[in-house]
Amino acid sequence: MFFRFFVKRGKLELRITYCSNSQKFLYDFQHIIRAFYPGAELMFGNGGDIHFEAHFDGFNVRIQAEMENKEIVVKNFILTDDDHESKRIFGRNLYDILKTLTGKELPWGILTGIRPTKIVYPLVESNLPDKEASEYLQREYYISKKKSHFLLEVAKNETNILNRVDSSAACLYIGIPICPTKCLYCSFSCHELTKRIESLLSLYTQALLTELEKTYKLIEENKNKIVAIYFGGGSPAVIGVQNIKRIFESLFANLDVKDIRETTFEAGRPDTINRELLELLALYKKDFNIRLCINPQTSNDQTLKIIGRNHTFDDIKKAFELAKEYGFENINSDVILGLPNEIEEDFKKTIYDVLNLGPASITVHTLSIKRASLLRFKWQNYRFMDEHTVNSLLDWARAILKERGYIPYYMYRQKNMIGNFENVGYSKKGFEGLYNVMIMQEKHNIYACGAKAVSKFIFENDRIERMFNPADIQIYISRILNIEKL
Ligand code: SF4
């Protein structure tokens, strides 16, 4: 059997084809190619400027790269009977070929997972000295020395945070996937607040409350205690203060607030933050330990327009002032590195502007061009920073945030990020987002309610089962309210 696909590389339209007599490691092949050719589109097809051929014969594998029918690089290697090890062997050999072809090296090497710290937990837990752990990461995954040290630092911080919760601890996610407008880079199944969606908000809240009622029973049956709650999905405040109040009343009546260490409310965009909302949240702030998110993404108004936000950075400042007036100290701010048309100075200015707002935590994202985003179809219209600049700005941000007392406490990666980099959460001591860390480590149940919400249940031997809710709001409402009638 032969599988063929090609990569379109921007305007150069470099085509890469791949043939194999096995489906093995197809995902790794695609991911590593994408990492070497960011923005590339992989699809099945025939013929290419560069052609790869992989032949599997038991444990023996041969990968050959050809250009214009001339053999240019060949790698022969042997897999083992350990699937994880074989995956790494395949990845390293493919990486070597791509490095020869492009002259490039990737800071994260062959690491394809979105939770890089997960591979480090066993090293941290076994108290392996840092030098040995770092060498292992460099040798096995081709992770750069600098990134391996950073990874170890973040994994240790994550582990310290998780050591403070016991095995019965669990999280509750409340998804409200609706936003006033859709951001250019958004890939979530997030609905825009149209008249039709507006007319469904009350029913949606009813469905959420119904699902919550059933979830409380499940939490009790599983002998879990909810330690972290997350209101997210979009901009939860769009459902209106009265509906949010109904949800808090339900949570208060059914959960033991003594256990709740943190409740994150993604206020997100300043166009959904007002006095009425903050007044309500302030009522529950103490019992629920509310952590607010107010996310500028950038302080450049021009960029805010490009990415489809209906606000300016001045609106963000006003939202911060208002939140502080209502006594909110635990505020997180998201920023994105590599936004369309931004240059180095824009990002540096954003970091300084955000630091001036004094958030308790800052999450630094690297732009990801997702398949489901509008940006996926429009990216040729904009200029983007090159990978070298993004990498040095990540280092710069880490240094400046450290200088201002923010420690890196969690990390994740997405597919199709500029230069295959990372997203990192930094916080002042004691303001780390517990929910963020718990979902990264996958050791605790996550009960998720709302459209597009995904619950995650952890069983013995780290087996994970996921339960998916319908993404469409109308379908979600009718499913939940129909179940109720049964
Ligand atoms: S705020 Fe977040 S969820 Fe809403 S449209 Fe923008 S990226 Fe999507």
Residue nearest ligand 1's atom 4 by CA: 234
Q: Does the beta carbon of 268 lie inside 6 Å of ligand 1?
A: yes
**188 touches ligand 1 (CB under 6 Å):** yes
* Degrees, nearest 5: CA angle 430-432-433: 135
pLDDT at 415 over 60: yes
Specify the pairing of strand 70-78 against strand 60-67: antiparallel
Listing from the earlier edge strand, what are the strands of the sheet with 16-20? 16-20, 50-57, 60-67, 70-78
Neighbours of 394 (CB within 10 A): 23
pLDDT at 291: 97
Confidence of residue 486 (pLDDT cuts 50, 70, 90): very low
State the pLDDT at residue 7.
41
pLDDT(313) > 60: yes
Question: Residue 176, CB half-sphere, CA atoms under 13 Å: how many?
Answer: 30
**234: CA distance to ligand 1 center in Å?**
5
**The token pair that represents 155 in the structure block:** 């994994």
Where b means 16+ CB within 10 Å and e means fewer, 165-193 reads: beeebbbbbbbbbbbbbbbbbbbbbbbeb
User: Which protein residue has the closest C-alpha to ligand 1 atom 1?
Assistant: 234
Beta carbons of 374 and 319 less than 8 angstroms apart: no
Query: CA 359 to CA 308: how far, in whole Å?
Result: 24
Is the separation of the CB atoms in 16 and 3 below 8 Å?
A: no
Convert the pLDDT of each residue in 138-195 to its tens digit.
Answer: 999 999 999 999 999 999 999 999 988 998 999 999 999 999 888 888 887 788 899 9
Higher pLDDT, 246 or 40: 246
Distance CA 394, CA 384 (A): 15
Q: How far, in Å, is the centroid of ligand 1 from the Cα of 336?
A: 13
Q: Which atom of ligand 1 lies at the shortest distance from residue 192's CA?
A: 5
**Protein residue with its CA nearest to atom 2 in ligand 1:** 234
Ligand 1 center–CA 96 separation, angstroms? 38
Distance (Å) from CA 267 to ligand 1 centroid:
11
**Which atom from ligand 1 is nearest to the alpha carbon of 233?**
3
List the residue whose alpha carbon is closest to atom 5 of ligand 1.
182
Q: Which atom of ligand 1 lies closest to the CA of 187?
A: 8
Q: Which residue has the higher pLDDT, 398 or 117?
A: 398
* pLDDT attached to residue 3: 37
Q: Is 396 helix (H, G, I), strand (E, B) or coil?
A: helix
Q: How far apart are the first and last CA of the chain?
A: 48
375 Cβ inside 6 Å of ligand 1: no
Element (H, E) at 225: strand 225-232
Q: What is the pTM of this model?
A: 0.89
pLDDT at 417: 62
Which pLDDT value is given to residue 469?
95
- What domains can you pick out in the chain, each with its CATH number? 6-102 (3.30.160), 116-161 (no CATH), 164-479 (3.20.20.70)
Closest residue (by CA) to atom 6 of ligand 1? Answer: 183
Confidence band, pLDDT 50/70/90 cuts, at residue 9: very low
Report the residue among 173, 181, 183, 191 best suited for mutation to probe ligand 1: largest number of ligand atoms under 8 A from its CB: 183
H-helix segments, 69-144:
83-102, 121-125, 130-141
Q: Is the CB of 304 under 6 A from ligand 1?
A: no
Q: Ligand 1 centroid vs 235 CA: distance in angstroms?
A: 7
Our answer on whether the CB atom of 151 is closer than 6 Å to any ligand 1 atom is no
Q: Is the pLDDT of residue 306 over 60?
A: yes
Q: 27 pLDDT exceeds 80?
A: yes
Ligand 1 centroid distance, CA of 291 (Å): 18
For atom 8 of ligand 1, the residue with the nearest CA is 186
Residue 403 has pLDDT above 90, yes or no: yes
| Whole-number Å distance between alpha carbons of 414 and 146 | 20
- In the structure, what pLDDT confidence band is assigned to residue 461 with cuts at 50, 70 and 90? confident
pLDDT at position 213: 96
Ligand 1 midpoint to CA 427 (Å): 22
- Give nearest CA residue, ligand 1 atom 3: 234
Checking DSSP bridges between strand 16-20 and strand 290-294, what pairing results, if any? Answer: unpaired
Confidence at residue 39, expressed as pLDDT on a 0 to 100 scale: 59
Q: How far is the CA of 186 from the centre of ligand 1 (A)?
A: 5
Report whether pLDDT(43) > 80: no
**pLDDT band, very low/low/confident/very high, at 483 (cuts 50, 70, 90):** low
> 352: which DSSP letter?
H
Question: Across residues 421-442, what is the average pLDDT?
Answer: 93
The DSSP-derived string for 365-389 is EE-B--TTSTHHHHGGGS----HHH
Burial 285-314, CB ≥16 within 10 A → b, else e: beebbbbbbbbbbbbbeebbebbbbebbbe
CA–CA distance from 246 to each of 168, 240, 302 (Å)? 27, 10, 38
Do residues 179 and 454 make contact, with C-beta atoms less than 8 angstroms apart?
Answer: no
Strand 407-412 to 423-427 pairing:
antiparallel
pLDDT tens, position by position, 226-272: 999 999 988 999 999 999 999 999 999 999 999 999 999 998 788 88
Distance 193 CA to ligand 1 centre (A): 12
Q: Does residue 190 have its Cβ closer than 6 Å to ligand 1? A: yes
